[in-house]
Structure 1
């Protein structure tokens, strides 16, 4: 009897974890990583305490879902840009793809801001993105195609400003957003 109760609890626990993950992905995808845990718990049909029990709190929950939200896509973005032979095209690809992800995924701005610095997966993602940015900018400077003096910190602050503007100013059309992204990218070219 005890064995069947333990199996039942494990099945319940696994179902709770799956429901919490699904609810967190849906909530974070819509509004970013600061969505209240109470809302995620309600959507998952569990208590907030269950989130803490299963994930250890917000950072654990973020670690459990950040791959689904932005990490896997950022890995693809970084790999794609690094694979482009032409230094300018590599930068255009990288910046354009990052801006595209930022438009579609509010959690990307939270990742940029390191809103939750105790999340190991977010820290790893930030370190990988910084390494890729430095590499691509170095290639652009060495080839003479990138505006002199433009740094990884400059790109970071431009992306943060872009993300905060997306949040604060509400909706804009995709066409307008893409046009503004092209203006930004064009401003990076050496003259």
Structure 2
């Protein structure tokens, strides 16, 4: 029989291999990657994932900080350092769309693909608070169209998540050009660029 310390070392190594495989898979393809593929990449059985993490939600919660949360909260923190309300919301909107393009798992979080995950729902709650805060400040400053609401910003982000998850992925240049069009469309008169 293997000794208890050996069992603990094997379990720890398996957990680390599973976490590493999950981070790689989720970052590249989103949180819905089949667990069989994560297990194969980790060199373990699917049953081992359930034994160590309790299933998909447990595994997601074990790695969501590295996959999504750290980058998303970095965007929020950077946004809050910008003094001008119009520049602040423009930076946030552009940075979120960039993250959505680069990290498919962000779209799974924004679409609340796993509502039973408390950590994912907490990320969504934090994002909703930032949306409210940024839109209120930008509207007050005249940087946004007066009728534009936090719900509108949320809808634009969710629509983009749906398009990236279920539609054809556009070339990056086209995607960035459309980000500019969207920003131009929601800006108030005071922040409209001079087209002369």
Q: Would the TM-score normalized by the shorter structure come out above 0.5?
A: yes
RMSD over aligned CA atoms reads 1.4
Q: Report if the CA contact (8 A) 1:145-1:189 is conserved.
A: yes
Partner of 2:110: 112
Cα-to-partner distance string for 1:51-110 (whole Å, 9 max, x where unaligned): 111111111111111111110011110111111110000001100000000000000110
Partner of 1:42: 40
SS of 1:170 mapped into structure 2:
coil
Aligned ranges 1:10-89 → 2 under 5 Å: 10-89=8-87
Q: Which runs of 5+ in 1 are unaligned?
A: none
Partner of 1:151: 149
Q: Report if the CA contact (8 A) 2:111-2:161 is conserved.
A: no
Q: Which runs of 5+ in 2 are unaligned?
A: 190-196
Segment drifting more, 94-103 vs 124-133: 124-133
Structure 1 residue 152 displacement after superposition: 2.1
TM superposition score normalised by structure 2: 0.91
Runs of 4+ in 1 over 3 A off after TM superposition: none
TM superposition score normalised by structure 1: 0.94
Partner of 1:99: 97
Structure 1 residue 45 displacement after superposition: 1.1
Alpha-carbon distance in 1 for matches of 2:124, 2:150: 12
Aligned residues: 189
